Amino acid sequence: EWHAEHWGLKPSQIQELLVRLRAEPEWKASANVYTLVNEFIIPWTRGTGVGYALLVNGAQAQEVNIMVSHAWSENAEEFLETLLRSTAASDVLFVCALSIYQAQDDAGPSIIEQLGSDAEDSPFHRVLAHIHRCGVHAGCGGVLWRVGPLVKGAYLVLMLLALVCYCMPMIMKSCVATFHADRCISPASLLARMEEQRLADPSDAWMRYALHTSIGLFLGAMLVCIIWRRLNVYRGYMIVVPNREDIMYGRLWCVYEIFVAHALGVPVSLGLTLADAGSMSSRLAKCSSQEDEHRIKFEIEAKYGKDRGYQVIDRSICLTTRSSLIRAVLASVAVGFPTACMSVSTFTLTEDWSLTACTKVWGCFGNALGTGLVALSAFRAFKREQGRPQWRNILAIAGANTFVGFV
């Protein structure tokens, strides 16, 4: 008998499910998860006594490392596609609609029996507790498991610093750094015979090792990436998948899952979608079963207190929903800053060599700022329209991009 922590599906199996659904004559692209379960998953699993995940895996049950929190009113195809975008090929996902036996017949346990008499007995709690145990036992008392985002940030910072060190001689002195500590290539020599120009000014000493520092930082970033991959750090977390059809946090089970993840220290991330998660107090969240609603709220209030429990959950939800904006800012920096550095460097080498250092620095800053603002504006426009912006927004973004290019 397999417990909930082994009722998982790999992304490849979710892709196969999506292909199978689209091949069904009765399937409609507008169908939500309720339709998916009632008209397809239940008929496919009826009489087997196991959920869809165990049915397709047979004796090779998959151990879950990602808990998926979602609402059933969302579009099924968009939901499955979001899971594919948000996970790696090696991940195993627990999706309640696909993992729990939904048929409600004598061949297997009922939904109430699977949820248990106590919220802590529910599959959701078991899966999150399992992810927490695996993360803690993965190495260094769970430190490596929790510092994953910091490692990714360190890699990005090292790469950007390497680019800055390489571009700074071009921006400040209109010359390209070389491996010789006292030389760099001037624009004039670039057009002639690539003869090297000595750096006679003592104030230029900081540039003499620019190329060495740049290569060292680049190799450091590569080393961090290789070591992190070689360590094979446990990838255990929870994904919250927003949707366009419903307020995500109006569903009490979703609120409870975030509550448990927060209590256990399991990282929570938003799925890669532009759909809005909505905004409302967790105190107002409801559940279709009054019994489930009572026991979940009782557990929340018993652990943190009647008022503080919901405040803790609201704060955790706020941090989770902000993660998408943080990712957008990092993406803008990762793309806009290198683009700005290289464009200003090329300009100072090939166009106007008489620009002052201050002008060049301000040019680089303005270029980076303009690129970042356009990227963030595009993100906000698409996010506000939940991935389906109107034509006027698209034209406004294109116009802003063109304006920044001319400036």
CB 67 within 8 A of CB 238: yes
β-bridge partners, 286? 251
| Per-residue pLDDT, 353 | 47
Three-state DSSP at 205 gives helix
Task: Judge whether residue 15 has pLDDT over 90.
Answer: yes
pTM flag (> 0.85): no
d(C-alpha 342, C-alpha 348), whole Å: 10
Q: How far is CA 105 from CA 39, 58, 371, 386, in A?
A: 15, 20, 58, 39
* Phi and psi angles of residue 260, each rounded to the nearest 5 degrees, phi first: -65, -45
β-bridge partners, 185? 176, 196
- 8 pLDDT band, cuts 50/70/90, is very high
d(C-alpha 265, C-alpha 258), whole Å: 10
The sign of the CA dihedral 63, 65, 66, 67 is positive
β-bridge partners, 32? 75
Three-state DSSP at 390 gives coil
DSSP string, 146-179: HTHHHHHHHHHHHHHHHHHHHHHHHHHHS-EE-S
Three-state DSSP at 9 gives strand
CB 61 within 8 A of CB 16: no
| Per-residue pLDDT, 228 | 79
Rounded to 10 degrees, the C-alpha dihedral 144/150/153/158 comes to -70
Predicted confidence (pLDDT) per residue in 87-146, tens digit:
989 999 999 999 999 988 888 888 888 877 776 778 888 999 999 988 888 766 567 777
Q: What is the mean pLDDT of residues 328-340?
A: 66
| Per-residue pLDDT, 286 | 80
Task: Judge whether residue 387 has pLDDT over 60.
Answer: no
- 65 pLDDT band, cuts 50/70/90, is very high
d(C-alpha 74, C-alpha 72), whole Å: 5
* Phi and psi angles of residue 237, each rounded to the nearest 5 degrees, phi first: -165, 180
Residue found under tokens 């790696």 = 88
d(C-alpha 40, C-alpha 33), whole Å: 10
| Per-residue pLDDT, 404 | 55
Report which residue type is found at 407: V
CB 331 within 8 A of CB 308: no
Token representation of residue 213: 């520092």
Question: Whole-number mean pLDDT of the chain?
Answer: 77
Looking at mean pLDDT, say which of 61-65, 258-262, 330-334, 386-390 comes out highest: 61-65
Task: Judge whether residue 321 has pLDDT over 90.
Answer: no
- DSSP 3-state percent helix, strand, coil across the chain (nearest 5): 65, 5, 30
d(C-alpha 169, C-alpha 192), whole Å: 20
